[in-house]
């Protein structure tokens, strides 16, 4: 029969063997052998990579195991598919000048059942495994320390209700279970300490939770893992995991600094209290101003907004306006719509006055 006869393929009897794969011995066995070899290499590579920082919580090892299992399951699938695809492209490509159509194929029921069933079983097994692990990690523990975490553009603050302490630092006792209750004052953020592995979104109107037990003394960072605005990348804060005794003394110090200590002592070397007995430094700290602004007296080094050590127009009227209506006058070199517009609602008039006075004093 003629090679160029268009009717040849449709009228002929049994299909002729395609000359392009004639002589290829056991192509499927070869592809599978290559795929298995490549999968083993792939698994070895992904398991050798240190994907995460040193674990610092009980949950971390379990999560790392889940991650390894996922890699072991997904890498061979990727490698196998790619091997078959690349092998077929290279080995069975049309020779130059070969313009014939490929053999007509109407599907292969057995193959389709296999490639639906295997992924279905794998995904189901992984889902059950993940559910068991999550259920285990989220189990309530005795003697849990509750920490309210609040995200706002662009800072985190922490509140220890049982200790009656509020702070901009996260300090945690080693080996004591912690329950983080995560809130946000404005947009979506995501609370993440990579060394603890667990991560949860902070969602307006909701309280989300994470339970974990820090088990390694050290200094880590809370990272915001959800794009939340121009200062997103600066939304980081220190986490310290300390021995229980150090945690107790930290709690005592915080209480003293807030003036609520049993001894009633004034915090040494602190800023003078601002208007109406409200401490402007505390307002500055509690509202996270330092994550966007530089201010030497507060040890703040933010660069998202203007340097508050040298305010353009150092009058109380201007400073007040810049806090409550920040886009009215935008400092040269900075953009509008970055500073939250609602500090006028969030701050009481006492707090606002104290903050203005505090910033004014910093200008001298
Ligand atoms: Cu908050 Cu990103």
* Minimum mean pLDDT range among 20-29, 83-92, 287-296, 331-340: 20-29
70: pLDDT strictly greater than 60: yes
Strand partners of residue 201: 190
Are 123 and 206 members of one domain?
no
265: pLDDT strictly greater than 50: no
Ligand 1 centroid–CA 203 distance in Å is: 11
Strand partners of residue 167: 158
* Minimum mean pLDDT range among 168-172, 292-296, 333-337: 333-337
Are 122 and 68 members of one domain?
yes
More confident residue, 179 or 98: 179
Are 72 and 162 members of one domain?
no
Phi, psi of 220 (to 5 degrees): -125, -170
Q: Average pLDDT in the 263-288 region?
A: 60
Note whether residue 210 is domain-resident.
Answer: yes
Are 322 and 355 members of one domain?
yes
Residue 28's pLDDT is 77
Ligand 1 centroid–CA 230 distance in Å is: 9
Residue with token string 């989220």: 138
Residue 184's pLDDT is 93
Are 201 and 249 members of one domain?
yes
Residue 150: CB atoms within 10 Å: 20
Are 151 and 241 members of one domain?
yes
Atom of ligand 1 nearest to the CA of 229: 2
Give yes or no for residue 235 CB within 6 A of ligand 1. Answer: yes
Q: Domain containing 303: what range?
A: 275-361
Ligand 1 centroid–CA 284 distance in Å is: 19
Count H helices and E strands in the chain, helices first.
9, 12
pLDDT tens digits, residue range 7-63? 444 444 445 555 555 556 777 788 788 888 888 898 899 888 888 888 888 888 888
pLDDT tens digits, residue range 297-318? 888 888 888 888 888 888 888 8
Are 306 and 334 members of one domain?
yes
268: pLDDT strictly greater than 70: no
3-class DSSP state for residue 32?
helix
Residue 261's pLDDT is 41
Sorting pLDDT into bands at 50, 70 and 90, what band is 214? very high
More confident residue, 92 or 269: 92
Give CA–CA dist 302/236, Å, rounded: 11
Whether residue 284 contacts residue 347, with contact meaning beta carbons closer than 8 Å, is answered with no
Are 30 and 131 members of one domain?
yes
3-class DSSP state for residue 179?
strand
Average pLDDT value for the chain: 83
* Minimum mean pLDDT range among 9-23, 144-158, 283-297: 9-23
Whether residue 73 contacts residue 126, with contact meaning beta carbons closer than 8 Å, is answered with yes
Give CA–CA dist 31/86, Å, rounded: 10
More confident residue, 111 or 273: 111
Are 167 and 208 members of one domain?
yes
Sorting pLDDT into bands at 50, 70 and 90, what band is 262? very low
Give yes or no for residue 60 CB within 6 A of ligand 1. Answer: no
Are 189 and 151 members of one domain?
yes
Give yes or no for residue 288 CB within 6 A of ligand 1. Answer: no
CA quadruple 92, 95, 96, 101: dihedral, nearest 10:
-80
Are 221 and 301 members of one domain?
no
Residue 22's pLDDT is 58
Give yes or no for residue 228 CB within 6 A of ligand 1. Answer: yes
Ligand 1 centroid–CA 150 distance in Å is: 11
Which residues, in sequence order, are CB contacts of 250 under 8 Å at separation 6+? Answer: 171, 242
- The residue whose CA has the least distance to atom 1 of ligand 1 is 189
Ligand 1 centroid–CA 188 distance in Å is: 7
Residue 17's pLDDT is 54
Token pair listed for 146: 């509750």
Give yes or no for residue 226 CB within 6 A of ligand 1. Answer: yes
Atom of ligand 1 nearest to the CA of 154: 1
Note whether residue 292 is domain-resident.
Answer: yes
189: pLDDT strictly greater than 70: yes
Give yes or no for residue 185 CB within 6 A of ligand 1. Answer: no
For position 189, which CATH number holds? Answer: 2.60.40.420
Q: How many domains does the chain have?
A: 3
3-class DSSP state for residue 147?
strand
Give CA–CA dist 312/318, Å, rounded: 9
Residue 106's pLDDT is 84
Q: Average pLDDT in the 167-173 region?
A: 90
Give CA–CA dist 20/100, Å, rounded: 11
Give yes or no for residue 189 CB within 6 A of ligand 1. Answer: yes
């Amino acid at each position: 029969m003629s090679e160029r006869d268009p009717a040849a393929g449709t009228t002929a009897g049994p299909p002729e063997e395609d000359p392009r794969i004639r002589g290829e011995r056991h192509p499927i066995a070869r592809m599978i052998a290559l795929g298995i070899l490549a999968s083993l290499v792939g698994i070895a590579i992904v398991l050798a990579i240190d994907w995460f920082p040193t674990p610092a919580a009980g949950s971390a090892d379990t999560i790392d195991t889940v991650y390894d299992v996922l890699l072991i399951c997904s890498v061979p699938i990727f490698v196998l598919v790619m091997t078959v695809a690349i092998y077929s492209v290279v080995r069975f490509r049309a020779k130059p000048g070969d313009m014939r159509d490929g053999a007509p194929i109407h599907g292969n029921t057995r193959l389709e059942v296999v490639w639906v069933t295997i992924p279905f079983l794998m995904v189901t097994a992984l889902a059950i495994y993940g559910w068991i692990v999550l259920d285990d990690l989220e189990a309530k523990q005795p003697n849990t320390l509750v920490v309210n975490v609040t995200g706002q553009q662009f800072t985190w603050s922490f509140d220890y209700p049982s200790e009656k302490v509020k702070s901009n630092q996260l300090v945690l006792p080693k080996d004591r279970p912690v329950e983080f209750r995560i809130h946000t004052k404005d947009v979506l953020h995501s609370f993440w300490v990579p060394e603890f592995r667990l991560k949860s979104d902070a969602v307006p109107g909701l309280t989300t939770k994470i339970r974990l037990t820090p088990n390694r003394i050290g200094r880590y960072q809370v990272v915001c893992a959800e794009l939340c605005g121009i200062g997103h990348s600066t939304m980081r804060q220190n986490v310290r995991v300390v021995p229980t005794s150090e945690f107790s003394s930290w709690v005592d110090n915080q209480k003293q600094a807030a003036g609520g200590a049993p001894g009633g002592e004034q915090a040494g070397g602190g800023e003078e209290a601002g208007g109406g007995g409200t401490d402007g430094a505390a307002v500055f700290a509690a509202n996270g101003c330092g994550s966007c602004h530089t201010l030497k007296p507060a040890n703040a080094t933010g660069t998202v907004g203007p340097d508050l050590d040298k305010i353009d127009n150092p009058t109380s009227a201007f400073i007040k306006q810049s806090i409550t209506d920040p886009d009215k006058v935008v400092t040269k070199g900075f953009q509008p719509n970055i500073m939250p517009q609602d500090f006028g609602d969030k701050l009481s008039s006492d707090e606002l006055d104290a903050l203005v006075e505090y910033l004014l004093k910093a200008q001298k």
